[in-house]
Copies of this chain bind each other. A is one copy, B any other.
Amino acid sequence: MTLNSYTQLLDRMREIGWIDGAAGLLSWDQETYMPAAAIEFRAAQLAYFKGRTHRLFTADEVGGWIKECESAAFSSLSKEAVNVREWRRAYDRATKLSPELVEEFERSTSMAWSAWIAARKGNDFAVFKPHLAKLLDLSRQMAEAWGYAKLPYDALLDGYEPGARTDELQKVFAELKPGIVRLIEKIGPSARSASKSTLPGPFPIEAQKLFNQAVAERIGFDFTSGRIDIAAHPFCTGIGPSDCRLTTRYDDNDFTDSLYSVLHECGHGLYDQGLPKEDFGTPMGSAVSLGIHESQSRLWENHVGRSREFWNYWLPVAQKHFPTLATNTAEDLYRHVNQVRPSLIRVEADEVTYDLHIILRFELEQKLLHRELSVEDLPEAWNTTFKRLFGLEVPDDTRGCLQDIHWSHGSFGYFPTYTLGNLNASQLIQNVRNENPNLNAELAQGDYGSLLRSLRHKIHQHGHRYLPPELMKEATGESTQGRYHAAYLERKFGS
């Protein structure tokens, strides 16, 4: 009976996986190749598939199967036990909300997103304000419906980072923040006035494609199970057990823009390609959280890609693809891709200042959700805090509290996963380095095999087996800490 329930769950998830994969391709196509006029049909089609998988997953019989499986004696941390545990978590999150609340949230985010577009364009926070208030109110209701340990914010966080707790994040972020503020005080004044360095181009797009492909192949991205296309915003999407698609965009004045977005997305892609294929469509075959996913992208982008070892190896190859670099040194490239400059916009931030952008948002969205800050007062709170942290005046809300899309989607609790990604990346690579003192020498030779094998072993193969804090403990001996990343930044940028 129980085995039968488990099989029925697997069958249902297989069906959902087929539909989700098709929806994934429809979305990928929408960003890459879809003719413009096809958008209306595509939107209706995607909404249909989303509703269909939701109904398939939240059906009463699914709840019954999960319940029967829970009374079975699957051995702890077995594939079956993990899947049942995670199906329960997802089923509860999907069914604890009333259909009315879900519908109101969908409707409200859709309107909030349009209002955000207009507010941002017109630099008019007032246009977005009532929508933000509405989404916060609905999010509070959702948090209550889901339940939480201490704070409503915990319930939202859990949707992006299962097992994460607000108070623990505050603690690890507190380990990080003072060091960054110190670095900014030290570097900031001169960096703010220095002009951005440039490389001698132009860099033809075809040459950039070939160079990116060479790098991606070398670090281990499998092109028989994946590809790289062009899109306005770089992303990585897995649409089948052997089908992982990355996108990037090209700037002919600076080939490193596309290179680092490829390295970042490849980091996500390597995780995707390292998940157990036979478990596709089940928790065991899926990435465990955003904070772990982002650790993989940041590790390859920053720890590998923005290192001296990287350019010592890749400069001659780059010079073959881009003859205008003939007189540049590896040190030129290293410096070019590691410029620090406090700036207004998160997505343009360097390694040092990036997490401060996140901490600002993490603090403000908690206050908003917990009614310690009114929506009315958000712009002023943003600007004051920004000035204090970055030493910069925020000239308008478009470049201030209106800059990111996340809140317009009602995504509160998402931002901290970016910094978790940075912390996890630093902690993971430090651990790999401790185990393999030869790592830097390998990287300097363009040999990424042992690093990838370590990540496969420590992270990728496990899918959802452990919640993120336990996964980090299994992988490195401790749950996520702030000090490894703080030390990394100090080492790299302190002098």
List residues of A whose CB falls within 8 A of some B CB.
15, 18, 21-23, 25-26, 29, 33-38, 40-42, 44-45, 48-49, 222-227, 229, 240-244, 280
Contacts and interface: CB of A to CB of B under 8 A. Distances in A.
A25 B45 CA distance: 12
Contact of A36 (B26, B224, B240, B241): B224
A34 B26 CA distance: 13
23 contacts: A15-B48, A18-B44, A18-B48, A22-B22, A22-B25, A22-B26, A22-B49, A33-B33, A35-B223, A35-B226, A35-B227, A35-B244, A37-B224, A37-B242, A37-B243, A38-B225, A38-B240, A38-B242, A38-B243, A40-B242, A41-B241, A41-B280, A42-B243
A15 to B, nearest CB: 7
Nearest to A39: B242
A49 to B, nearest CB: 7
A317 to B, nearest CB: 24
Q: Chain B CB within 10 Å — which of A23, A33, A38, A45 has the most?
A: A38
Contacts of A49: 18, 22
Contacts of A23: 22
Nearest to A47: B18
Nearest to A34: B243
A243 B18 contact: no
A67 B96 CA distance: 42
A433 to B, nearest CB: 32
Contacts of A222: 37
A474 to B, nearest CB: 29
B280 A35 contact: no
Contacts of A240: 38, 41-42, 45
Contact of A35 (B33, B35, B36, B243): B243
A280 B35 CA distance: 17
Contacts of A229: 33
A29 B35 contact: no
Nearest to A241: B41
Contacts of A45: 18, 21-22, 240
Contacts of A21: 41, 45
Contacts of A36: 224
A34 B48 CA distance: 24
A23 B25 CA distance: 10
A18 B280 CA distance: 24
Nearest to A273: B37
Contacts of A44: 18
B241 A35 contact: no
A225 B22 CA distance: 21
A226 B44 CA distance: 18
Nearest to A227: B35
A94 B6 CA distance: 34
Contact of A242 (B29, B41, B223, B241): B41
A37 B225 contact: yes
A40 B33 CA distance: 23
A344 B248 CA distance: 47
A37 B18 CA distance: 16
Closest 8 CB pairs of A and B: A38-B243, A37-B242, A41-B240, A37-B225, A22-B22, A18-B45, A37-B224, A18-B48
Contacts of A34: 243
Contact of A227 (B25, B33, B224, B227): B33
Contacts of A226: 35
A37 B48 CA distance: 28
Nearest to A242: B37
A224 to B, nearest CB: 5
B18 A29 contact: no
